[in-house]
Amino acid sequence: MAPSKQTTRIIQLPPVAIFAVGSEVVQGFVINSNASWLAQQLAELGFDVVRHEAVRDDKDAIAARIRPCMPQGLLAIVCGGIGPTVDDLTRQAVAEALGRKLVLDKDDLARLQARYAAMGRDFPQGSEIQCMRPEGARLVPNAYGTASCFLVKHGNGGVAVLPGVPREMKGVFTNELCAALVAEFGSAGRFFTRELKCFGMPESAIDLACRDLLQPQGASAAILVDDAVIRLRWRARAADEAAAAAILDPLADEARKRLGDVVFGEFEDSLEGVTIAACKQAGLKVALAESCTGGMIAHLLTNVPGSSEVLIESAVTYANDAKILRLGVSQATLDQHGAVSEQCVLEMVEGIARQSCADLCVATSGIAGPGGGSDDKPVGTVWLAAWLKGKARAWKLNVPGDRELIKWRSTRSAINVLRVAALKGALPDRPAHWIVPP
Amino acid sequence: MAPSKQTTRIIQLPPVAIFAVGSEVVQGFVINSNASWLAQQLAELGFDVVRHEAVRDDKDAIAARIRPCMPQGLLAIVCGGIGPTVDDLTRQAVAEALGRKLVLDKDDLARLQARYAAMGRDFPQGSEIQCMRPEGARLVPNAYGTASCFLVKHGNGGVAVLPGVPREMKGVFTNELCAALVAEFGSAGRFFTRELKCFGMPESAIDLACRDLLQPQGASAAILVDDAVIRLRWRARAADEAAAAAILDPLADEARKRLGDVVFGEFEDSLEGVTIAACKQAGLKVALAESCTGGMIAHLLTNVPGSSEVLIESAVTYANDAKILRLGVSQATLDQHGAVSEQCVLEMVEGIARQSCADLCVATSGIAGPGGGSDDKPVGTVWLAAWLKGKARAWKLNVPGDRELIKWRSTRSAINVLRVAALKGALPDRPAHWIVPP
């Protein structure tokens, strides 16, 4: 993350300790992924995270862990144990650790009662606890569940309390607690984010193309890599969405312009999801001929609801006989060039196109390993072909990794070909990271 | 886990706090999965884990977290920070927290130097630190890396130090620290384990069939559920493998006898891996016709190295036209019964059998949702058919869950049909959890 004027100005923020409350975490039945996620988010806000702890559902134990944070000026961010059941004891423990009374927020209770009434359900006995917080604490609304959250400043630090369910926790943090932290500990407004997801270009090339955009004034930027999916993220403090847009939109728009169809989406978009949407939009029916990907292209595409409107079929022709019988690959091609060859993969894609009446097809044939490699065609050699309304072309890929990674990367490359072809109405030039120049 | 005489006898073991040392963990770049794994293992040894902490690579911070554990009689298990680099500070911090000197184990140093010599490499400067431990600590050898581990009893508790790399940590824990913990804190020998993995019977039915075996004398037992895969695990302390076998083998053997082909493997075996092996063993070639599973059966089977010797092809016929053209399903069947019907799935399996020359085939057709359901055929209605050398049969499944879970469960059910058919040489009766009785 490139440092910016904004992030250097907030260096006096309290150090943070992240607490996960829950016996299921301490016993190892749930991995504490909340702490990692929060640590990364907090770093982007300029907070220094100094440790994580996981504590059992035991009021005294929770209070005993939080209490010593206060004289040290720490901000304790506590996840979990805020529901209505008897083992939800975080509120009580925090009040005790701070030596403050737990008080009921009557407005918040009215909201919760109205919520139950709207669902046609009786208000469960004891549920008022979800609207209680230590005296002087600020309400942090929770649109994702019934239990309200809170933030309380105490000395130089304080305590923030969040839900334990990851989806709820992330929602409340992003949409409410960020702003509350800024209000209590900083003054430069809320944080706003833009994120672009890219596929088909290595990180180094993206970095080179967008270097100036990744060192912005008045915002922070990050380039995050999840295998071949690369995310560009900009974050800025601003008073409101309009002020944020003035800072962030020119950056994201310029990056989109430079990167073109390498950008496939934003935030939670998946490559297969946007590909199905692009095919639907373009009115294209799709068929596949898979060898080394072994059905994984079809599997990922059919994970997308509504994919049946796009995908006609996939011929997973693992054996050579199946390539001949199902796709009309010629015995001569297999004898002369082998199944992992430009000739074979072109015959495969033309075969599935001819037989399926699809508009857009891809085919894969490669060596996923661990066996089957040779000097000439080592493990990771993958041929990928595409066919769009009568035109075909093929690419040779050199895919690093083990068997599962080679399948996974070849599959994503094939899906990206479908996406770009559907968007452009033409077959792309370089749709994947691992293409070997002809 | 059923309590046993052995586990109740070790209740006076010290409570445990698990520490992960590493700034990358605290900053959220690495998820602390070591803590979950250790917590589960320690529970099986009879230890009560009371909390986890993740601490930065900072000597004073590490010492400050470990020091207060000692007057409380805790056993601190510390992972990470034991290598030779400047940010590896766990040894120094533990010595400081205990008020003990750090001493060099010359025999251990000779071993490490010999190891470098055997690799033909110079001994790196400063590497002696990896053979140092607090005075009075017991060496815990590390066959998985260069840094030796240790265990030191201190008051009623103490400190054990392990590597941070998960593979190393698990190896040292299982093969060395377990025995060292028994030697320092207990006296009943090492722990030995048997594990059976089951598919095709609900947990309640397995529990009923094996209830007496799950409350054994002289051992502990657990029934662990990962969706439809159910693991039975027995663990006993014994002086050696022969003594352990005398306790554990009769339990596991009897469970195998009662559960029959519901048991598909042990420990790390996967359903797809044992299925490919069973088909290879029986000399069976396999072909698939997939609709609602969308290629996932082929995808999982082709994850197994060597699956190309078994799998000929999968026809992923998502559209009705593809079912007609590729598999010879009749238009009349689709008109009268729909694609999600016994008739259709039988025609699919017979079609792929006829066209592929395989010995063993399965077909799936169902409603994965979220759309496409009706009162008559709600989301989760899945027909599964199998064909073995001329004989076919079909099962109706009622699969709970969302789209991805329905695909996943249908896929596993189909793979289990292949496995049992290959083992028995005949089509099974009830190969999946979700079969609706006819």
Note the Cα B145 to chain centre separation in Å: 23
Given an 8 Å threshold on Cβ–Cβ distance, is A318 in contact with B306? no
Prior bond of A437 cis (ω within 30°): no
In the three-class reduction of DSSP (H, G, I as helix; E, B as strand; rest coil), residue A147 is classed as: coil
Q: Find, in chain B, the residue whose alpha carbon is nearest to that of A285.
A: B319
Chain A: closest CA distance from residue B380 (Å): 14
Region B11-24 average pLDDT: 88
Amino acid at B407: K
Give the rounded percent of residues in chain A with a pLDDT score beyond 90: 74
Contact check, Cβ <8 Å, B298/A294: yes
- Portion 410-429 of A in contact with B at CB < 8 A: none
With an 8 Å Cβ cutoff, are B290 and A290 in contact?
no
As a whole-number percent, the residues of chain B with pLDDT over 70 amount to 96
CA-nearest residue of chain B to A312? B319
Q: Are A28 and B34 in contact (CB under 8 A)?
A: no
State pLDDT tens for residues A389-423. Answer: 999 999 999 998 899 999 999 999 999 999 999 99
Q: How far is CA A252 from CA A41, A260, B41, in A?
A: 20, 12, 48
Decide if pLDDT at B184 tops 60.
yes
Band (pLDDT 50/70/90 cuts) for residue A188 is: low
Contact check, Cβ <8 Å, A51/B61: yes
Distance (Å) from the alpha carbon of A150 to chain B's nearest alpha carbon: 23
B402 CB within 8 Å of a chain A CB: no
User: Per DSSP, which regions of B325-390 are E strands?
Assistant: 360-366, 381-388
CA A292, CA A407: separation in Å to the nearest integer?
7
Is any Cβ of chain B less than 8 angstroms from the Cβ of A159?
A: no
Q: Is the pLDDT of residue A254 over 90?
A: yes
Q: Among partner residues B28, B321, B322, which is closest to A35 by beta-carbon distance?
A: B28
Among the partner-chain residues A32, A299, A355, the one whose CB lies closest to the CB of B294 is A299
Are the C-beta atoms of A392 and A349 separated by less than 8 Å? yes
Integer Cα distance of A234 and A194 in angstroms: 5
What pLDDT, on the 0 to 100 scale, is given for residue A187?
A: 53
Distance, in Å, from the CA atom of B247 to the CA atom of B155, rounded to the nearest integer, reads 34
The sheet with strand B75-79 has its strands ordered as A138-140, A149-154, A157-162, A75-79, A16-21, A49-55, B49-55, B16-21, B75-79, B157-162, B149-154, B138-140
Q: Taking the CA atoms of A297, A303, A309 and A315 in sequence, report the sign of the dihedral they define.
A: positive
| Pairwise CA distance, residues B281 & A243, whole Å | 68
* Cβ neighbours of A38 (radius 10 Å): 25
Nearest to A316 among B50, B305, B314 (CB): B314
**B271 touching chain A per CB within 8 A:** no
A65 to chain B, closest Cα gap in Å: 10
Give first-to-last CA distance, chain A, whole Å.
36
Q: Which residue of chain B comes nearest to A27, CA vs CA?
A: B39
pLDDT, mean of residues A91-103: 97
pLDDT of residue A176: 94
Q: Please count the CA atoms within 13 angstroms of the CA of A136 that sit on its side-chain side.
A: 13
Residue B3 has pLDDT above 70, yes or no: no
What is this model's ipTM? 0.74
Q: Does B174 touch chain A (CB under 8 A)?
A: no
Spatial separation of the C-alpha atoms in residues B340 and B415, rounded to whole Å: 19
Domains and their CATH numbers in chain A: 7-185 (3.40.980.10), 190-265 (3.30.70.2860), 271-424 (3.90.950.20)
Q: Given this model, what pLDDT does residue A190 score?
A: 63
CB nearest to B305's CB, from A28, A322, A371: A371
Q: Give the H/E segment covering residue B153.
A: strand B149-154
Torsion angles phi and psi, residue B193, rounded to 5 = -130, 145
Q: B358: Cβ–Cβ under 8 A, 6 or more apart, which residues? A: B284, B285, B286, B287, B312, B352
- The pLDDT value given to residue B8: 32
Tell me what pLDDT residue A133 has: 97
Q: Give the Cα separation of B348 and B364 in Å (integer).
A: 8
Q: Which of A164-178, A244-258, B216-230 has the lowest mean pLDDT?
A: B216-230
- Cα B272 to its chain centre, rounded Å, is 14
Q: How many CB pairs under 8 A join A and B?
A: 213
For chain A, say whether B268 makes contact (Cβ under 8 Å). no
**Nearest Cα to A69, choosing from A175, A180, A145, A153?**
A153
Identify the pLDDT of residue A182.
82
**pLDDT (average), residues A288-316:** 97
pLDDT tens-digit map of A189-234: 566 889 999 999 988 889 899 999 998 988 888 887 777 899 998 9
Per-residue HEC secondary structure of B82-124 comes to CCCCCCCCHHHHHHHHHCCCEEECHHHHHHHHHHHHHCCCCCC
Range B236-248 average pLDDT: 86
Question: Quick check: B314 and A313 CB within 8 A?
Answer: no
- What integer pLDDT is reported at residue A5 of this predicted model? 32
Average pLDDT over residues A325-353: 98
Average pLDDT value for chain A: 92
By residue count, chain B amounts to 438
Of B62-71, B173-182, B221-230, B404-413, which range is least confident? Answer: B221-230
pLDDT at residue B54 above 90?
yes
pTM of the model: 0.75
d(CA B368, CA A305) in angstroms, rounded, equals: 9
pLDDT at B7 over 80: no
- Angle (CA) B39-B42-B44 rounded to 5° is 115
Phi, psi of B3 (to 5 degrees): -70, 150
Sign of the C-alpha dihedral computed for residues B86, B88, B92 and B96 taken in this order? positive
Cα distances from B98 to residues B55, B68, B155, B185, B293, in angstroms, run 18, 10, 10, 18, 58
Among the ranges given (A194-198, B124-128, B246-250), the one the predictor scored with the smallest mean pLDDT: B124-128
Least Cα distance to A364 among A426, A427, A305, A295 occurs for A295
Cβ–Cβ < 8 Å for B40, B70: no
Residue pLDDT, tens place only, A120-136: 888 888 899 999 999 99
Give residue A10's pLDDT. Answer: 36
pLDDT digits over A341-373, tens only?
A: 999 999 999 999 999 999 999 999 999 999 999
Contact by Cβ (8 Å): B163, B140: no
Q: What is the end-to-end Cα distance of chain B in Å, rounded?
A: 36
Q: Report phi then psi at A99, rounded to 5.
A: 65, 35
Instruction: Record the tokens describing residue A215, joined without a space.
Output: 């060192």
Pairing between β-strand B263-265 and β-strand B190-198 as defined by DSSP bridges:
antiparallel
pLDDT at B36 over 80: yes
Q: Is the pLDDT of residue A34 over 80?
A: yes
Q: How far apart are CA A133 and CA A264, in angstroms?
A: 43
B131: alpha, beta or left, given left = phi > 0 and alpha = psi -120 to 50? alpha
Q: Please give the DSSP secondary-structure letter assigned to residue B436.
A: P
Within a 13 Å sphere around the CA of A411, how many CA atoms are in the beta-carbon half? 25
Nearest chain A Cα distance for residue B298, angstroms: 5
Strands A263-265 and A229-238: unpaired
Q: Which of B33, B68, B28, B74 is nearest to B50 (CA)?
A: B74
Please give the average per-residue pLDDT across B406-417, as a whole number.
97
Q: Which two tokens stand for residue B347?
A: 């025609």
Which amino acid is residue B105, in one-letter code?
Answer: D
Of the ranges A283-287, B2-6, B35-39, which one carries the lowest mean pLDDT score? B2-6
B25: chain A residues, CB-CB within 8 Å: 36, 52
Residue with tokens 């073991």: B13
Span of A164-178, A274-288, B236-250 with lowest mean pLDDT: B236-250
Confidence (pLDDT) at A370: 92
| Centroid of chain to Cα B271 | 12
Residues from chain A that touch B324, judged by Cβ atoms under 8 A, are none
CA separation, residue B344 to residues A291, B161, B318, B363, B411 (Å):
26, 60, 13, 10, 18
Q: Note the pLDDT tens digit of each residue in B375-385.
A: 999 999 999 99
**CA dist., res. B221 & res. B241, Å (int):** 18
Chain B contact present for A325, CB below 8 A: yes
Residues of chain B with Cβ-Cβ distance to A32 below 8 Å are 31-32, 35-36, 52
Rounded to an integer, what is the distance from CA B398 to the centroid of its chain? 27
Question: What pLDDT was estimated at residue B193?
Answer: 85
- Look at B193 and A278; give whichever has higher pLDDT: A278
Q: What are the E-state strand segments in A163-249? A: 190-198, 220-226, 229-238
Contact A326 B315 (CB under 8 A): yes
Q: What is the pLDDT of residue A189?
A: 55
Mean pLDDT of A86-93: 92
Give the H or E element holding residue B372. none
Peptide bond into B370 cis (omega under 30): yes
Span B58-97, pLDDT tens digits: 999 999 999 999 999 999 999 999 988 888 999 999 999 9
* For A406, nearest residue in chain B (alpha carbons): B303
**A chain contacts of residue B356, beta-carbon cutoff 8 Å:** 322, 325
Q: Does any CB of chain A come closer than 8 Å to the CB of residue B33?
A: yes
Higher pLDDT, B122 or A119: B122
Q: Which residue, among A292, A300, A308, A365, would best test binding to B if mutated, counting the most B CBs under 10 Å from its CB?
A: A308
